[in-house]
Structure 1
Amino acid sequence: MDILQFLYFVIALLITLTVHEASHALVAYYLGDPTAKMQGRLTLNPLKHLDPIGALVLLWTRFIGWAKPVPINPAYFKSPMRDSALTALAGPFSNFLLAFVVALPWAYLGAYMTGALLKPVLTILQMIFHVSISLGIFNLLPFPPLDGSKVIGVFIPRRFQRNYQNYLAEGAKYFIVIIIVDALIVGKIRGIGFIPSIVRYLNDWVAAILLLGT
Structure 2
Amino acid sequence: MTYEPVSTRRPNSAFVPSPIFLGIVAVFAVSGFMAWTRFGNVGVDVFLFVVAGWLVSLCLHEYGHAVAGYFSGDHSVADKGYLRLNPLKYTSPLLSIILPVIVVIIGGIGLPGGAVWIDHRHINSRVKDSLISATGPLANIVLALIASVPFLARDFTFADPSDPHYAFWAALALLAFLQVTAAILNLLPIPGLDGGGIVYPWLSREYQRAWNLFAPYGFILLFVLLWQSRANEYFFSFVYFFTDRLGLDSGLIASGFDLMRFWS
Same fold (TM over 0.5): yes
* Match for residue 135 of structure 2 among 87, 90, 106: 90
Question: Is the counterpart of residue 137 in structure 1 residue 178 in structure 2?
Answer: no
TM-score (norm 1): 0.75
What is the rounded CA distance, in whole Å, between the counterparts of 1:129 and 1:30 in structure 2?
A: 29
Residue identity matched to 1:179: F
* Match for residue 57 of structure 1 among 96, 99, 103: 103
Q: What aligned pairs does 1:170-185 form with structure 2 within 5 A after superposition?
A: 170-172=216-218, 175-176=219-220, 179=223, 183=227
Give the direction of change, closer, same or farther, for the CA distance of 1:127–1:91 in structure 2 (3 Å limit).
same
Q: What aligned pairs does 1:105-184 form with structure 2 within 5 A after superposition?
A: 105-108=150-153, 116=164, 118-168=165-215, 170-172=216-218, 175-176=219-220, 179=223, 183=227
Q: CA deviation at 1:40?
A: 1.4
- Checking the alignment, whether the CA contact within 8 Å between 1:58 and 1:64 is kept in structure 2 is yes
- Checking the alignment, whether the CA contact within 8 Å between 1:12 and 1:127 is kept in structure 2 is no
- Checking the alignment, whether the CA contact within 8 Å between 1:140 and 1:147 is kept in structure 2 is yes
1:136-162 Cα shifts (integer Å, max 9, x gaps): 001112223311111121342344332
Question: Which has the higher Rg, Structure 1 or Structure 2?
Answer: 2
What is the rounded CA distance, in whole Å, between the counterparts of 2:151 and 2:108 in structure 1?
A: 20
What is the rounded CA distance, in whole Å, between the counterparts of 2:224 and 2:103 in structure 1?
A: 10
Q: CA deviation at 1:94?
A: 1.3
- Checking the alignment, whether the CA contact within 8 Å between 2:225 and 2:232 is kept in structure 1 is no
Residue identity matched to 1:59: I
What is the rounded CA distance, in whole Å, between the counterparts of 1:163 and 1:156 in structure 2?
A: 10
Question: Is the counterpart of residue 100 in structure 1 residue 145 in structure 2?
Answer: yes
Q: CA deviation at 1:48?
A: 4.4
1:48-100 Cα shifts (integer Å, max 9, x gaps): 45432233223322124122311101111121x33221111111111111111
Count the aligned residue pairs: 197
RMSD: 3.1
Q: Which runs of 5+ in 1 are unaligned?
A: 187-192
What is the rounded CA distance, in whole Å, between the counterparts of 1:177 and 1:159 in structure 2?
A: 21
Q: CA deviation at 1:177?
A: 6.3
Report what 1:189 is aligned to: none
Higher helix proportion: 1
What is the rounded CA distance, in whole Å, between the counterparts of 1:205 and 1:148 in structure 2?
A: 20
